[in-house]
Amino acid sequence: MKESKTSKRMTLLTAVIAMAVAVSACGAKESNKPEGGAPANSASPSPASGTKPAAPKTVKDAMGHEVTIPAQPKRIIASYLEDPLLVLGEKPVAQWMVPNGTQKYLEKELSGVPPIPSTLPPETVLGFNPDLLLISNESSVEKGLYEQYSKIAPTYVLGSEITNDWRQTLRKIAELLNKTDVAEKALADYEEKAKATREKIKGTIGDKSAAILWLTKKNFYVVNGKVASGAVLYGDLGMKAPNILAVLPEAKANWVPISLEKLAVLDADFIFLVNSDKGQAGNLEEPLWRNIPAVKTGRIYEFDRDGSWLYNGLIAGSKVMDDLTASLSK
């Protein structure tokens, strides 16, 4: 039986309608796609293997405070902790300052960063609108200061047990900022540099002893072997400390005061002098000073207070090694 013309027209019309519906549905799906591809309601691509998206985390600080660290803090204040912060590729919104100035050895790295008093007045801190405060030790948040700071931004106290060791300090801050891999790479590079420096100075120093002195306001201090440049020379580079350091009554202090009379019998073959009194007449003209063996033999190397010899940290230690190598190669 032959199909009627009317029946054919109906069949054709049905096919056209079906095609139109299909095209419309496709268009709707395409319109739901965000720029760049995947449909808006599709699952996000899985992160690269071994990485996790940054997220806020709650941790306990040295004082037992529960602190929620932002996922990616951008406005950090870490007064006197700028060295490790910079190693991790983070630039603070304010830098430590005392009446005598800032940490000059970080002047280039902290270019453009305004100073903040080392006492961290809460009203000044508030003005910088930080999203994270890193505090060195417990004594810095006494008398209700922690409560005031924590109302401004999450406040984490590292504690003196951590900050007494710059390596631990770097690792702890890296842990908080999810940058442990960056810290470990920097530490490995530092150890390699220390090894290379030991080789460079071996021929000059050998097994001879060296003392680090600081002259400020006409008073001498000996740098002990546990902090700043003392830790670099005697620890990282294996140089021999002078015997006098062990017998001084206050040898456990970071900067041990010493008289000219005691310096006159200083048993150091080399002297590295941080001279904060540079340009002033005084102790360096005294006969007692001039008769010290290392001074008489010309084995004294002088640095001004703008260097890193009185500071702790990876950047500070690295610059001490640069100074040492350059001085001994002259």
Q: Give pLDDT tens digits for 152-209.
A: 999 999 999 999 999 999 999 999 999 999 999 999 999 999 999 999 999 899 899 9
Fold of the 193-328 domain: Rossmann fold (3.40.50)
The model carries a pTM of 0.82
Mean of the pLDDT values across residues 77-89? 98
Computed over every residue of the chain, the mean pLDDT equals: 84
Three-class secondary structure of residue 128 per DSSP: coil
Specify the pLDDT at position 44.
34
Tokens describing residue 1: 């039986």
Please report, rounded to a whole number, the percentage of residues in the chain having pLDDT higher than 70: 81
Residue 285 has pLDDT above 90, yes or no: no
Beta strands in 143-283 (DSSP E): 155-157, 210-216, 219-223, 255-258, 270-275
Higher pLDDT, 122 or 242: 122
Please report, rounded to a whole number, the percentage of residues in the chain having pLDDT higher than 90: 66
Tokens describing residue 34: 């965000």
Partnered with residue 76 across adjacent β-strands are 132
**Would you place residue 3 in the very low, low, confident or very high pLDDT band (cuts 50, 70, 90)?**
very low
Fold match between 57-179 and 193-328? yes
How far apart are alpha carbons 326 and 157 in whole angstroms? 38
Given its phi and psi angles, is residue 10 left (phi above 0), alpha (psi -120 to 50 degrees) or beta?
alpha
Classify domain 57-179 by CATH architecture.
3-Layer(aba) Sandwich (3.40)
Helices (H) and strands (E) in the chain, counts: 13, 12
Q: Where are the domains of the chain?
A: 57-179, 193-328
- Cα 40 → chain centroid: 41
Contact 169, 317 (CB under 8 A): no
Mean of the pLDDT values across residues 89-115? 96
Contact 244, 309 (CB under 8 A): no
The CB density around residue 244, as the number of other CB atoms within 10 Å, is 19
Contact 88, 183 (CB under 8 A): yes
